[in-house]
Structure formats: C-alpha cells, structure tokens
C-alpha cells in the first residue's frame, strides 16, 4: 500500500494541503469522483456493491 504525506497527496490530486487536512478531519465531503481520483493516485479503486446477508453483488468498479 502506498503511503503519501499530506503534501504529496495534495500535489498528486491538485489540491492544497489545507484541503487535504479538511478532508482528513471530515470538514469537507467528498464526491465519488474525488474519491476515485484520490484512490487512483494511491493505486487503489472504488468498488460499489450491494450486500445481502451473505451475498455481495458488485455493481460498479
């Protein structure tokens, strides 16, 4: 797993360090697209799934 400093992440996604701090502290909500951007820069992805008891259905990646 890639670990980035606040400064590195800010540069990766084109945001300020203060914006990253606001995200970290829950002061700013994140759109699905922003989540995808951040996770993509960190080498991850967003998956959306419906979960029913013991069954998980992937809806979108």
Q: Which residues contact 33 (CB under 8 A, 6 or more apart)?
A: none
Residue 47 pLDDT: 93
- pLDDT digits over 17-38, tens only? 999 899 889 999 889 998 998 8
- Dig out the tokens for 26 from the structure: 């829950």
Across all residues in the chain, what is the average pLDDT?
88
CA distance 39 to 37: 6
Residue 3 pLDDT: 65
Q: Is residue 1 predicted with pLDDT exceeding 60? A: no
Q: Is residue 2 predicted with pLDDT exceeding 70? A: no
Residue 8: name the closest of 46, 43, 42 by CA: 42
The whole-model pTM stands at 0.68
């Amino acid at each position: 797993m890639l670990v980035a400093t606040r400064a590195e992440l800010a540069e990766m996604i084109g945001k300020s360090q203060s914006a990253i701090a606001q995200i970290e502290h829950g002061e700013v909500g994140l759109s699905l697209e922003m989540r995808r951007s951040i996770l993509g820069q960190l080498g991850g992805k967003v998956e959306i799934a419906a979960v029913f008891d013991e069954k998980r259905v992937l809806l979108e990646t």
